[in-house]
Amino acid sequence: MKHPQLPLGLALRESARFESYFPGQNQEAVNSLRISAAGLGDSLVYLAGATGLGKTHLLQAACQQAADAGRTSVYLPLRHLPGLSPAMFEGLERMDLVCLDDVDAIAERADWEHGLFDLFNRLRESGGTLLVTAGKRPDQIGIQLADLVSRLCWGVTYVLKPLDEETLFAAVTYRARARGLELPEDTARFLLRRFPRDLASLCDLLDRLDQASLIAGRRLTIPFVKSALAGESG
């Protein structure tokens, strides 16, 4: 297995797997990412959607999938790399898979836009795969370099659909089962009523509650969840 490369101080979440992502109405996008990560699909997949729909989870899952297939990969969260220069793109064409999270973070930054444009061309020549996420479609994120916008439109673009209440409930219980975690229905409903209703926040909350239940040897009843989270804030 070839482990993904990461900037200093970053790490892939082990739980970020395709199997632990509940697709809802986004099954086609998930299938496309999974196939491309393994080197068998489109060479460019662009994933658009609001915060909290699991774009980061899917990119990190793609890196894990690539590693399982013996492919080299790199994951770069562009919104969380302050102080770095577009020189970080140099040499990435040697990777089989390049995953760029929040590409809209480089909009209106000419040096970064040109750096990404050059990387795109090098990846095309080397036969690598590029997976990209942003809040909106390529022509809606404010990139000024027209040639880069054009390149980002060359591949397949998916706009993730938000999860309605029942689908979000199904997603939370699915994620709990994937972790081997018993989550009673009343507790799941409680979490949806009391906490941010985006999938990323809820999955992070489940991870913390899983650890708390293991330490305490307690089931995830509503009283236990209340006391565990009160202990965090205290």
CATH topology classification for 165-233 = Helicase, Ruva Protein; domain 3 (1.10.8)
Q: 68 CB contacts (<8 Å, ≥6 apart)?
A: 1
Q: For position 37, what pLDDT does the model report?
A: 96
Burial class (CB in 10 A: 0-12, 13-18, 19+), 40: exposed
Q: Are 32 and 138 in contact (CB under 8 A)?
A: no
Query: DSSP states of 89-100 as a string?
Result: GTTGGGSSEEEE
List the strands of the sheet with 73-77, edge to edge: 73-77, 97-101, 129-134, 44-48, 156-159
pLDDT of res. 90: 94
User: Domain 18-159 class?
Assistant: alpha beta
How remote is the C-alpha of 76 from its chain's centroid? 11
Place of tokens 């699991």: 54
Instruction: Tell me the pTM.
Output: 0.79
pLDDT of 138 reads 96
Amino acid at 153: C
Residue 232: predicted pLDDT: 66
| The pLDDT of residue 113 | 97
Give every residue of the chain whose pLDDT is below 70, as ranges. 1-15, 82, 231-234
What is the reported pLDDT for 111? 95
Amino acid occupying residue 214:
L
Residues of CATH 1.10.8.60 domain(s) within the chain?
Answer: 165-233
- List every span in the chain annotated with CATH 3.40.50.300: 18-159
Greatest pairwise CA separation for the chain in angstroms: 58
Q: How many CA atoms lie within 13 A of 55 on its CB side?
A: 26
